[in-house]
Structure 1
Amino acid sequence: MNLIQTDMQGYSEMCRKNDCIPEGDYQKYEVKRGLRDLSGQGVVAGLTNISKIVAFRDGKPCDGELWYRGYKIEELVHRYVNNLYGYENLTYLLLFGELPEEAEAGKFISILEEARELPTNFTRDVIMKAPTRDIMNSMTRSILTLASYDEKSQNTDLENVLRQCLQLIAVFPMLAIYGYHAYNHYENLQSMYIHRPDPEASTAGNILRLLRPDSRYTEVEAKALDAALMLHMEHGGGNNSTFTTRVVTSSGSDTYATIAAAMSSLKGPRHGGANIKVMEMMDDLREKVRDQQDDDEIRSYLEKILDKKEFDRKGLIYGMGHAVYSLSDPRERLFKKYVQLLAKAKGREEDLELYMRVEKLAPEAIRDRFRIYKGVSPNVDFYSGFVYDMLGIPRELYTPIFAVARVAGWSAHRIEEIVGQGKIIRPAYRSIMEERQGSGDQTREG
């Protein structure tokens, strides 16, 4: 162990020396780094009929649009505004390509309710045996272990994959919440309580039921969380975790390994952890801005963030801007209504006012500092952490709740990849390695 510890610095320096590729080489060889061109447009790697993102029209930035299976997200959310099962209905839409009629929706919800059950003693023997603050890792371990309980775990026939996907969609809230309770009990020394899901409750309702000691929640709370799930469940085939799903699926791998790979991608702070960074940034703002109703003082703080003098000193105002959207994120526009309703119900209007001040001032500061004129706007993560906070959801569960929503989209893309029977996804890397002559036989004897 000592050899490993003492030699790591030297090995690291060798890696930095031999693995550093000059930035200019990417332009020299016309390689689109990160599979995105210099204007931020993604390289087209495939075709999908599941969803569509629109950020430009006629070559010019426009208000963002998000479509699920031919329907604009605004229409879908408004369609289910008075229905506590919006997430379930849209899961049906993403998987099968059609909106369910009332009877079909009821049948599908019953299937998910029946599937919302873990193997006997799974919670005790798997989830509770290795508690960790990293709930995403806990969930990933549980997903891979579930394969051991499935006699057809390696079968990639469409019917079997559909069954596996539906079962994972159903139990994801349990894997997340039970994982948190194990951590909270063993690491934070808090009381342990494990509730069973309510077969009469929605996915959003069961998340709140499983999380809270008294299992109680209001309709407003359930609707707000249901809206969050609907807005996070799918976002095109190019986002990192969904692309991972398609890459692993194309290799012929099983459902459990594929979804575990997607989880590993989502947990990266560049992908699924943005809402936590927003919350931490807002905490820092409250601590350092004396008058939180003073726009000048708030803007000064935001400018210091951009100058890498405040918060995490990375120069980023979290929750602002998006890799695809420019003028606006349609999910943020829709979600804001639920944020306002929930803030009023929870008596958090002052906090909401501060968020809205930052929403107004941050784009101005970014545009002025970097001379960006295509548009900078808040994304859905700007408010999602605030909503989770008002719902009493601990920060350790923010990214897992994202995963609970997104597993529906992952499943739809896995199925589309299987039905399409495409080739294994294997992009090329251009080698710039210099060939060298050997320096003699240095084989170690022993």
Structure 2
Amino acid sequence: MSKFVTKDLFEITPEIAHLAALCEESNAIDRELYGKYDVKRGLRDMNGKGVLAGLTNVSDVRAKKIVDGEEVPCPGNLYYRGYNIKDLVNGFLKEDHYGFEEIAYLLLFGELPTRQELADFQVMLSDRRTLPPNFVRDVIMKAPSRDMMNSLSRSILSLYRYDAKADDTSIPNVLRQCLNLISQFPMLMVYGYHAYNFRRGQDLFIYAPRPELSMAENILMMLREDRQYTKLEAKILDMAMVLHMDHGGGNNSTFTTHVVTSSGTDTYSTMTAAMASLKGPKHGGANIKVTQMFEDMKGVVNDWEDEDEIRQYLYDLLDKKAFDQKGLIYGMGHAVYSVSDPRAEIFKGFVEQLAVEKGYEKEYSLYSKVERLAPEVIGERRRMYKGVNANVDFYSGLVYQMLNLPQALYTPIFAAARIVGWSAHRLEELKNVDKIIRPAYKALAPHRDYIEMDDRGDEVC
């Protein structure tokens, strides 16, 4: 029997460890070469500006303005189809209705809906909040995963086999598929969570969505055993989903959507690829890291009012002495924004309101202190090419905690919102670009002559 065969496929055996060392050695690239060949690592320059890779009408992220012919940082702004996100939020708050459906219509179809168009669209989404017969039993309840993003990805891929036109990439058919997935996503998410808990010995309750409720209301209703929620809770979850709905064409998961769409593959595979990207802790999983960091901080910092003690903890984070020893203060900084993240600014006022309702004033005060102190600490310890500010993930984890949402659903809720943006970008890619995305990589390995087996030596496994 080969020495590589092992009974436990999930163990890192000595043989695997040895081969991993070979992998690390053979894959190492001198970082100076990136500068020599002008390679933009992360497809960004030293100032964090992304390499121009496409055109989009869906949304725009602005963090700079031109002053005397020079680009200078300015407070961040986010635009959906040309409308400032702050104006959109103020608009549906003034109208006193939930914003998810209205802003989804805008991103998908390019214009703000009339009252009748919005009402018709709400009915359309409501009618599509259904799953194939026995889907919950045959797919969701079988082999539930502790990781909800993986569970959701499996469910989305499974929907492919129920769709007779799964591979049709015409605009009408892809729009149909996208509307289905947007409507079905909350059920896939919540039912997957309940299925996993049931396998762990907890009670199982599966509630059907109610047609008269908004997307946010249905999520809270289906998630909670008593089906109860306050209007403020639903309003803030709705706002969180609007703020997470899209963020330009270059964010990792949306760029993934463009890349995979350009290959000509189906909608279910495309959305699953985007899900895999969003799952990463540097992207959609960042708010979980923020929450975990603060839980560690609350256990280490004795006096939450002592700014010197808080500052020391932040130093320890950067010095890799605290939390996960990664040298990061999670929730601070952004690839584009350097002065302020408009989503975090909008969030903050409502976070304070929810903190009062839920009795989280002390936690909110701690977050506020860290938001103020962290840029100072980072500026002292790091060489910075642009400013650092709190991003939307800094407060979203606290919001979800106050809403008593399970941590396992933090990233899936992000995905339930962002799937609208992915849909808009997929439709845009299909309409405008009939060319597969294929950037270039410079090969560094020298060409070598083939070595016969007997001449390779015994030291190679």
Q: Same fold (TM over 0.5)?
A: yes
Corresponding residue of 1:85: 98
- Letter of the 2:249 partner, please give it: G
1:125 correspondence with 2:138: yes
1:201 correspondence with 2:213: yes
Distance in 2 of aligned mates of 1:26 and 1:177? 44
Structure 1, residues 89-118: CA drift from partner, whole Å, max 9, x if none?
Answer: 110000000000000000001000000001
Give 1:440 shift.
2.8
- Letter of the 2:225 partner, please give it: P
| Residue in structure 1 matching 2:414, options 397, 402, 425 | 402
Which structure 2 segments of 5+ residues have no match?
6-12, 456-461
Question: Is contact 2:185-2:416 (8 Å) kept?
Answer: yes
Distance in 1 of aligned mates of 2:285 and 2:450? 46
Distance in 1 of aligned mates of 2:334 and 2:264? 32
Distance in 2 of aligned mates of 1:153 and 1:96? 22
Corresponding residue of 1:138: 151
Residues 436, 335 of structure 1: alpha-carbon distance in 2 compared, 3 angstrom cutoff: same
SS at match of 2:77: strand
Structure 1, residues 375-420: CA drift from partner, whole Å, max 9, x if none?
Answer: 2110000000111011110000000000000000000000000110
Question: Is contact 2:63-2:74 (8 Å) kept?
Answer: yes
| Residue in structure 1 matching 2:61, options 37, 53, 56 | 53
Question: Within 5 A, what are the aligned runs for 1:32-431?
Answer: 32-58=40-66, 59-81=71-93, 82-187=95-200, 189-370=201-382, 372=384, 374-431=386-443
Give 1:373 shift.
7.5
SS at match of 2:256: helix
How many residues were matched structurally? 442
Give 1:288 shift.
0.6
Cα RMSD for the two superposed structures: 1.4
Give 1:351 shift.
1.3
Question: Is contact 1:132-1:183 (8 Å) kept?
Answer: yes
- Letter of the 1:55 partner, please give it: A
Corresponding residue of 2:9: none
- Letter of the 1:17 partner, please give it: E
Percent identical among aligned pairs is: 57
| Residue in structure 1 matching 2:39, options 26, 31, 41 | 31
Which structure 1 segments of 5+ residues have no match?
none
SS at match of 2:211: coil
- Letter of the 1:108 partner, please give it: F
Question: Is contact 1:84-1:226 (8 Å) kept?
Answer: no
Question: Is contact 2:334-2:391 (8 Å) kept?
Answer: yes
Give 1:57 shift.
1.1
Corresponding residue of 2:4: 3
Distance in 2 of aligned mates of 1:12 and 1:371? 33
Give 1:372 shift.
3.8
Question: Is contact 1:367-1:373 (8 Å) kept?
Answer: no
Distance in 1 of aligned mates of 2:452 and 2:303? 71
Give 1:7 shift.
2.3
Give 1:360 shift.
1.1
Give 1:34 shift.
1.2
Question: Is contact 1:84-1:202 (8 Å) kept?
Answer: no
1:435 correspondence with 2:447: yes
- Letter of the 1:263 partner, please give it: M
- Give the alignment's TM-score, normalised by structure 1: 0.97
Distance in 2 of aligned mates of 1:344 and 1:234? 29
Give 1:271 shift.
0.9
SS at match of 1:382: helix
Distance in 1 of aligned mates of 2:386 and 2:47? 11
Distance in 1 of aligned mates of 2:386 and 2:174? 42
- Letter of the 2:331 partner, please give it: G
Give 1:83 shift.
3.6
- Give the alignment's TM-score, normalised by structure 2: 0.94
Question: Is contact 2:46-2:385 (8 Å) kept?
Answer: no
Question: Is contact 2:171-2:427 (8 Å) kept?
Answer: yes
Distance in 2 of aligned mates of 1:374 and 1:418? 35
SS at match of 1:3: coil
Structure 1, 147-156 or 7-16: larger mean CA deviation: 7-16
